[in-house]
Amino acid sequence: MQTDWRFKAAGFCAWLAIAAPAGADIYAGLLAGPAAMAWVAAFVVFGVAYALYLRPATADGPHRAQPLTTVAILMAAAMTMTVTSAGLMKYLTSVSLTIVAGELPYLLPPRLVWTWVAIQSAALAAVFWLSFGWVSGVAGGLAYTGFQVLALGRAWLELRERQARQALAVANAELRGTQALLAESSRVAERLRISRDLHDSMGHHLTALSVQLDLVGRQLDGAAADQVREAHAITRLLLADVRNVVGELRSDVAIDLRSAMIALAAPEGDPRVLVDVPERLSVDSPAHANTLLRCAQEMVTNAVRHAQARNIRILVTGHSAGIELQGSDDGIGAAVLVPGHGLNGMRERLECQGGSLAVSTAPGHGVALRAFIPHRSNR
């Protein structure tokens, strides 16, 4: 997770702003010899390391390797520039440490962030004390502590806003998926209701009418009997049509899971959610469809909250034995997976439907899961 591009630009502008007065000091001879060479080298190292740290991350690429190492290099370069600067340039060069502080919330928990900032502030206060006296050391140290705290507040505010936006996007996708599944379940329930009504009401009345016409036809002779027998034949044809309609309505009661799953997809979001479901995939019952949808929703939620994933992939396939859902993300993973309420609830849902859940993870390789629900005929 990186800082917003506007703050990237502001950081680079602050870094470049240091060059002009330092160049003037070098030109005037106030900064010369090994100190000048060390300052220029540290300035270049800071710029290169900062550019590498903030370079755009490709959607399908791996996470940046060792970002904390890069930030440590930034701090070392900033301190080198501060120590080797001449006179009051030490105060201006110290702005680079504020840039470093602004990146820490994206990489470390708050306790370590505060420890890092305290070390930087103490080091700055020591440099100012040794260069200008204890008053300047205390005042300068407190001032730059305030600047760094301001940078931390900005970064934490951005992180909270981004996490809230991601949570809202996930909740919206879950709502769309649930709405699609509810609409599909309502469609199936309505078809079943219509088929029952046709069978129980119209089918019953047509059967009674057919029996009555058959009895009347046996008691009549001549032309009247022929007309009754013709009406009887028409009634039987109509009864057969009703039974065919009822059969067709009942034959299409499988749940279309694809529309509900596709509603979870966010190919342009952060993170990207890619869903692959066959065109004509159907599920035995609303309970099975709801279980699979909840598993997919839980995986997306976990990847956003805990895995820091940029890509989430969900693949649903149908087999002769049942329906399988495979999911994976490119998050940070973990050495040991400790199931929480979400995973435990997912497993319980599947087991209630006769299914199973398998989850695997490794540091730096994200989380992969496989959920399976057998067809009712195979249970």
pTM summary value:
0.60
- pLDDT at residue 366 tops 60: yes
For strands 272-276 and 311-318, give the pairing. parallel
Lowest mean pLDDT: which of 158-172, 211-225, 253-267?
Answer: 253-267
Transcribe 279-316 into DSSP letters: TT-EES-HHHHHHHHHHHHHHHHHIIIII--SEEEEEE
Question: Strand, helix or coil at 361?
Answer: strand
Angle between helices 110-132 and 67-84 (to 10 degrees): 10
- pLDDT at residue 118 tops 50: yes
- pLDDT at residue 122 tops 90: yes
Residue 351 has a pLDDT of 86
- pLDDT at residue 268 tops 70: no
- For the segment 81-97, the average pLDDT, to the nearest whole number, is 87
Q: Could you report the per-residue pLDDT of 337-358, keeping only the tens digit for each?
A: 777 777 888 888 888 888 888 8
Residue 129 has a pLDDT of 92
Give the HSE-up count for residue 221: Cα atoms under 13 Å, Cβ half-sphere: 0
- pLDDT at residue 65 tops 70: no
DSSP 67: H
Give the DSSP H/E element, type plus range, for residue 151: helix 134-197
Contact 67, 107 (CB under 8 A): yes
Name the band, by pLDDT with cuts 50, 70 and 90, for residue 230: confident
- pLDDT at residue 377 tops 90: no
Lowest mean pLDDT: which of 136-140, 185-189, 221-225, 301-305?
Answer: 185-189
Q: Could you report the per-residue pLDDT of 16-36, keeping only the tens digit for each?
A: 888 888 888 888 888 888 888
Query: What does the block give as tokens for 62?
Result: 């791996």
- pLDDT at residue 59 tops 50: no
Which phi and psi angles does 286 have, rounded to 5°? -60, -35
Which long-range CB contacts under 8 A does 176-182 form with residues at least 24 apart? 176/263, 176/264, 177/260, 177/261, 177/263, 177/264, 177/293, 177/296, 177/297, 178/260, 178/293, 179/263, 180/259, 180/260, 180/262, 180/263, 181/255, 181/257, 181/260, 181/286, 181/289, 181/290, 181/293
